[in-house]
Amino acid sequence: MTDAYVAIEGGRVVEARSRAPGTTRGELVFTTAYTGYEESLTDPSYEEQILTFSYPLIGNYGVREERFESDRVHPRGVVARELTEDVAEWLESEGVPAVDHLDTREIVTGIRDEGAMKCGIAAGPDATEADALAELEQCEHMSDHTEIGAQVSVGEPELFNEDGDGETVALIDCGAKGSIIDSLVERDAVVHVLPYDATEDDVAAVDPDLLFISNGPGDPENFEQTKDLVDSYVGETPMAGICLGQQVVASALGGSTEKMEFGHRGVNQPVRDLRTDRVVMTTQNHGYTVAEPGDKLEVTQINVNDDTPEGLENDDLEIITRQYHPEANPGPNDSKGFFDDVLAMAED
């Protein structure tokens, strides 16, 4: 049954089956993860994107809220070979259009060969090809979403583990996954989650042992306020960053970032540590990367597949950042020691 249409940049329209009705638009990307669909769908880093699952069956172990990374689904739309009823009903309840019964292999190879593309979706009994094309026409590039931080960040400060005996962390929320907070709390840190546009005074009021820049969606160059914080506190307070956080730190300290062809999204990305020569498997979700780290940061880890920077450090300035997600939900758990390292740095 054809009652949905996926319009892809370049003019191609793919017929599909509607699983959650509606019209939507966003950057078309794919993840190679074969598990963790709940974590992916609630990851704020997918804001303003259409998420395509390369694994054919999505939903084969149901939907459980305790696995969520945030309080809502963030991709603007979902594309899969087959969605179970559980996932389809969840997406419909969230108002996120979803389609299946199309050749996701062709879509994934198209993104791999041509890069992430604009996309428009129309799904439901009254959907037309023209509706999907109209959504595509209105779709913007990711770099044009200049206020994307406000869409995913907390509006007011939040406090976790107030009575903890560990280090005090100021977590700048650019779209933080919940498991990052959990990973810090598990180590008894007191975590103050601050908005992405927090001021220097906001951070000073927390008096943190560690300034932590979170993951998040979009172009790191659109997080000017966060870069200003990094510039203000570098050399004064130990600093850590994950994913977008690494890019923001590098950009603030004289480095540069760039958009990738199709990004890294999945749970099987190999990373090599240049100091130990050890390779670990990591969870990743990013479409931008550090192009040049500048003269203040050393590249300590790289992606095995394309040599992009996966870890940056400066021992003197007490900075450790990672491009991948060490909190590792849904796995693998190879890199969770990152949180021990940054908290030990803060303690010292």
Task: Please give the full DSSP string across 207-262, using - where no structure is assigned.
Answer: --SEEEE---SS-GGG-HHHHHHHHHHTTTS-EEEETHHHHHHHHHTT-EEEEEEE
Structure tokens at 140: 């913007």
Catalytic residue among 74, 101, 192, 325: 325
The pLDDT score that the predictor gives to residue 109 is 96
Amino acid 60: pLDDT = 95
**Catalytic choice (167, 192, 243, 318):** 243
pLDDT at 348: 78
Question: Tell me, what's the pLDDT at 156?
Answer: 96
Query: Given this model, what pLDDT does residue 332 score?
Result: 76
Using an 8 Å Cβ cutoff, are 171 and 316 in contact? no
Q: What is the pLDDT of residue 217?
A: 98
User: Are the C-beta atoms of residues 190 and 206 closer than 8 Å to each other?
Assistant: no
What does the pLDDT average to over 264-274?
95
What pLDDT is attached to residue 216?
A: 98
pLDDT in tens, 37-91: 999 999 999 999 999 999 999 999 999 999 999 999 999 999 999 999 999 999 9
Tell me whether residue 101 is one of the annotated catalytic residues.
no
d(CA 115, CA 261): 5
Query: Given this model, what pLDDT does residue 334 score?
Result: 80
Are the C-beta atoms of 217 and 321 separated by less than 8 Å? no
How many C-beta neighbours within 10 Å does residue 201 have? 7
Distance, in Å, from the CA atom of 56 to the CA atom of 75, rounded to the nearest integer, reads 18
Distances (CA, A) of 344 to 168, 233, 309: 12, 18, 23
Task: Tell me phi and psi for residue 133, to 5 degrees.
Answer: -65, -35
Q: Please tell me the pTM assigned to this model.
A: 0.96
Nearest to 300 by CA among 341, 260, 333: 341
Q: In the structure, what pLDDT confidence band is assigned to residue 330 with cuts at 50, 70 and 90?
A: confident
Binding-site sequence positions for L-glutamine: 45, 216, 218, 244, 247, 285, 287-288
- Nearest Cα to Cα of residue 70 among 198, 215, 212, 175: 175
Among residues 173, 144, 167, 161, which one has the least CA distance to residue 70? 173
Question: Quick check: is 192 catalytic?
Answer: no
What pLDDT score was predicted for residue 209? 98
Question: pLDDT by residue (tens digit) across 100-153?
Answer: 999 999 999 999 999 999 999 999 999 999 999 999 999 999 999 999 999 999
145 among known catalytic residues: no
pLDDT bucket at 288, cuts 50 / 70 / 90: very high
The two most distant CA atoms of the chain are separated, in Å, by 62
All structural domains of the chain: 4-140 (3.50.30.20), 148-347 (3.40.50.880)
Please name the residues in contact with 137: beta carbons below 8 A apart, sequence gap of 6 or more. 120
| Amino acid identity at 271 | V
Binding site residue list: 45, 216, 218, 244, 247, 285, 287-288
Residue 1 has pLDDT above 80, yes or no: no
